Structure 1
Amino acid sequence: MSNPWEVAARQLQEQRADSAAVPAPRPGAGPEPVPAGPAAPWAVVDEHSGAAFARRFGRGVLWALVGALTLLGAKSVLIPKQASAPVQQAAPAQSGPAYPADEARAVAARYARAYLAWDEKTPETRAAMLAAVLPEGADTAAGWDGRGRQDVLAVEPGTVTPAAQQQARVRVDVLVRTPAPAPPKPGAPAAPAPPAYWVGLDVPVVQAGGRVVVTGSPGMVGVPASGPAAPEVTGPQADGPFSDQTTETVKTFFAAYAAGETETVAAPGAVVPPLPSGIVLVAVESWTADQGGGADRTGTARVTWQLGGARLEQSYRVRLTRVVSTSAQRWQVASVLGGSTT
Structure 2
Amino acid sequence: MFRRPDLQPLQRRALHDWHGLAVRVAIAISLLVLAFAILWFDRFGLRDNIDGHLSFADVVYFTMITVTTVGYGDIVPISERARLIDAFLITPIRVFLWLIFLGTAAEFLLKRSWENWRMQRIQNTLREHVVLAGFGRTGQNAMAELLSAGTKVGKIVVVDADEEAIEIAKRAGVATIRGDATRDEVQKAVHIERAASFIVSCGRDDTSILAVLTARQMAPGVRIAVAVRNSDNEDLAQQAGANIVINPVGFAGLLLAASSHGEHLAEYLRDLATARGDVRLQERAATADEVGQALKDVSNGRAVRLYRGRTALSPWDPGPPDIQAGDQILELVPTEEAQGGR
TM-score under structure 2 normalisation? 0.17
Higher strand share: 1
TM-score under structure 1 normalisation? 0.17
Higher relative contact order (Cα pairs below 8 Å, separated by 6+ residues): 2
Higher helix share: 2
